[in-house]
């Protein structure tokens, strides 16, 4: 790719990222509610009681609407970032404020899609890393809001990472497989040991699966680096939560998934090939390949 082609491809990726970011806002809000509906349905089926009528809910139905006044959002009110600015950050009908997080997710998605193209060029590998970043952004915010890490997203992230390695890109397949195995087992063993000592569950299964997925993308050599990065991300998030007053009650559990997801995004931002500078002690099983 020539010098002139790269900026153009990065701009196209950013525009795509804005659109995907708008969809991620829907996923972040609705997927936990869809999971709750499914669990409620399973419980009623298990005990043999009729399921009460509930509104149809998926990622496409119902149409997006204002949660305050139920005003349906028209297509021209749903253009990433631009509509937010044109509306002044308020609903066009009831003037209720629209959260700043909506355009923030769109802009962050655009940033990471551009970064993927800068690192890997206009290629299907860059597209795979775009999906990687989109999944982590969704997992980050869903876990931050609900302390849930949906299996649908975790497994998609895991198998996509292994598939990229299988096709000869990213890390060597052996490193990806060991990364997934030891990523899962490392957190699982720590959690089990903590439970034996304290009688408390310190971490959920979703965290094990998320680190397994990151291990598949970055390789077993860099699991320790990812854990160090997660500590850094956790420190930043902790300071922000403390300053906002959300950690006033020290008995409220803190989700670990956002730390892991943030570590994966930070590692992508640095560049997968540059991780070796963070881990000179690693013993590559094949190295990263574009």
**What does the pLDDT average to over 169-173?**
87
**What does the pLDDT average to over 90-100?**
92
Alpha helices in 48-100 (DSSP H): 82-86
pLDDT value, residue 246: 66
> Residue 269: beta bridge partners?
none
Angle subtended at Cα 31 by Cα 179 and Cα 240, rounded to the nearest 5 degrees? 70
Angle subtended at Cα 5 by Cα 3 and Cα 11, rounded to the nearest 5 degrees? 115
Q: Is the pLDDT of residue 274 over 80?
A: no
Contact 62, 56 (CB under 8 A): yes
Distances (CA, A) of 216 to 97, 108, 165: 41, 23, 8
Would you call 170 helix, strand, or coil by DSSP?
strand
- At 290, the pLDDT band (50, 70, 90 cuts) reads very low
Q: Give the total residue count for the chain.
A: 290
- At 4, the pLDDT band (50, 70, 90 cuts) reads very low
Domain ranges of the chain: 1-122, 149-281
- Report the predicted TM-score, pTM, of the whole model to 2 decimal places: 0.91
Token output for 219:
């390789």
**What does the pLDDT average to over 206-226?**
93
- At 164, the pLDDT band (50, 70, 90 cuts) reads very high
Q: Is the pLDDT of residue 247 over 70?
A: no
> Residue 171: beta bridge partners?
288
Give tens-digit pLDDT for 176-191. Answer: 999 999 999 999 998 8
Q: Is the pLDDT of residue 253 over 80?
A: no
Largest Cα–Cα distance in the chain?
Answer: 65
């Amino acid at each position: 790719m020539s010098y002139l082609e790269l900026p153009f491809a990065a701009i196209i990726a950013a525009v795509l990222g804005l659109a995907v970011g708008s969809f991620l806002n829907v996923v972040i809000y609705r997927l936990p509610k869809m999971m709750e509906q499914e669990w409620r349905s399973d419980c009623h089926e298990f005990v043999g009681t009729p399921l009460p009528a509930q509104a149809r809910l998926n990622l496409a139905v119902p149409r997006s609407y204002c949660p305050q006044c139920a005003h349906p959002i028209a297509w021209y009110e749903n253009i990433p970032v631009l509509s937010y600015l044109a509306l002044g950050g308020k609903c066009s009908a009831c003037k209720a404020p629209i959260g700043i997080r909506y355009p923030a997710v769109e802009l962050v998605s655009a940033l990471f899609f551009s970064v993927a193209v800068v690192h890997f060029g206009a290629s299907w590998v860059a597209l795979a890393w775009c999906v990687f970043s989109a999944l982590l952004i969704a997992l980050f915010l869903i876990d931050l809001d609900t302390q849930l890490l949906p299996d649908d997203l975790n497994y998609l992230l895991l198998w996509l990472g292994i598939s990229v390695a299988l096709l000869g890109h990213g890390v060597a397949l052996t490193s990806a497989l060991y990364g997934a195995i030891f990523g899962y087992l490392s957190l699982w063993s720590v959690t089990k040991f903590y439970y034996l000592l304290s009688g408390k569950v310190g971490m959920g299964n979703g965290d094990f699966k998320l680190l397994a997925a990151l291990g598949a993308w970055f390789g077993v050599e860099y699991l320790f680096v990812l854990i160090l990065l997660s500590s850094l991300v956790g420190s930043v998030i902790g300071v922000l939560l403390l300053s906002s007053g959300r950690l006033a009650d020290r008995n409220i559990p803190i989700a670990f998934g956002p730390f892991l997801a943030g570590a994966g995004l930070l590692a992508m931002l640095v560049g997968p090939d540059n991780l070796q500078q963070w881990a000179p002690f690693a013993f590559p099983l094949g190295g990263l390949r574009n």
